Amino acid sequence: MSSRILSRSLLALAISATAFASCASVSESASADTMTANVGIYAPPPPGATRPKVGVPPFSVTGKAAKREMNAVAADTMSTLMVQSQRFTVIERAQLDVLLAEQNLSGIVKPGELAASGQVNGIDLMLIGRVTNFRTKIVNTKAGFGLGKIGLGNIGLGGGDYKKDEVTITTECGVDIRLVDPTSGAVAVANFSEFKREDKASAMGIEVLGFNATADADMRIADDDHGKLMRLALDEALRKTLPAIDSYIASTYTLPAAVAPAAAAPATTTPGATAFCSQCGAGIVADAKFCGACGTAIN
């Protein structure tokens, strides 16, 4: 047996083992996550803008890919994005819970809604959020080549197929955010946006787990990566709402420039004046009986 045949046989065995191992799971990750590179980077706020104090209670997240813990994850993510927008002073969610409890207002906010209005000391606005119909569709396609049988003496070795998984992820959801005055329950700013994007898992740095599958029925996305997809959706929603937010803050919280007081009229100067009229402040010459400006008698 020549060394060339032996080398080809060993190569076939190695590739077959690799292909067999890859059937158990699909894992793709990127060396650099380019999809979220611009998340949290916004145009600067208008000069001199006031930052209202905002509380962000848990969101309401529904949909096929939603889990209970996503309510809190979405609120925390939005809080971070709002801080990065440089337009708000955001109250930590734990501090918000304590604040509401201290004022006996714990039931004022439910996930995704302001249940009742109330004077919340220390808070100017509440950001109420809903993420609806949150779902991810995963499609796994395979590309590669096959190796036929390679003879080894009287033994025929079956060649393995070398295949690369190309995982495509489609994310869809609706994002509804509202800035609400907790005192009156009035909605100050509201926006609803539909989020949809399709990306390669490798480009997003997302890990996909599953068994030799071609659809999302047999595959799933790691929980941390669901949070990344959520962050993309919330970032887009906030970005689209910033013009309305800037307009509202400018009209409600940013006071107009203080009007400078009118300059006092200079006192009337009179050559040789030794005193001033107690009525109008005009200069009075010595021995005058009356003010030359207003006629007031001089004592």
Helix (H, G, I), strand (E, B) or coil at 215: coil
Residue 171 lies in a domain: yes
CA–CA dist 85, 63 (Å, integer): 28
Task: Please tell me the total count of domains within the chain.
Answer: 2
Residue 18 lies in a domain: no
Residue 157 lies in a domain: no
Residue 225 lies in a domain: yes
Q: In this structure, what token pair is assigned to residue 208? A: 């996909």
Q: What is the pLDDT of residue 20?
A: 39
Query: Which residues does residue 285 pair with via DSSP β-bridges, in sequence order?
Result: 273
Strand ranges in the chain using DSSP code E only, listed in sequence order = 53-55, 60-61, 89-91, 109-110, 113-114, 125-146, 150-152, 155-157, 161-180, 187-200, 208-210, 219-221, 273-276, 283-285
Q: What is the pLDDT of residue 140?
A: 75
CA–CA dist 146, 85 (Å, integer): 52
DSSP 8-state class, residue 17? H
Residue 187 lies in a domain: yes
Supply the range of the domain harboring residue 66.
25-143+163-252
Report the predicted TM-score, pTM, of the whole model to 2 decimal places: 0.67
Q: What is the pLDDT of residue 299?
A: 66
Q: What is the pLDDT of residue 192?
A: 95
Contacts of 184 (CB under 8 A, 6+ apart): 117
Report the 10 Å Cβ neighbour count for 279: 13
Same domain, yes or no: 178 and 291: no
Q: Distances from the Cα of 288 to the Cαs of 11, 271, 276, 279, 282, in angstroms? A: 122, 13, 11, 15, 12
Q: What is the pLDDT of residue 201?
A: 77
212 CB burial (10 A radius; 0-12, 13-18, 19+): middle
Same domain, yes or no: 47 and 109: yes
Whether residue 174 contacts residue 133, with contact meaning beta carbons closer than 8 Å, is answered with yes
Q: What is the pLDDT of residue 91?
A: 95
Residue 53 lies in a domain: yes
Residue 259 lies in a domain: no
Same domain, yes or no: 244 and 212: yes
Contacts of 110 (CB under 8 A, 6+ apart): 57
pLDDT below 50 — which residues of the chain? 1, 6, 10-11, 13-32, 149, 211, 213, 257-268
Whether residue 62 contacts residue 133, with contact meaning beta carbons closer than 8 Å, is answered with yes
Same domain, yes or no: 244 and 279: no
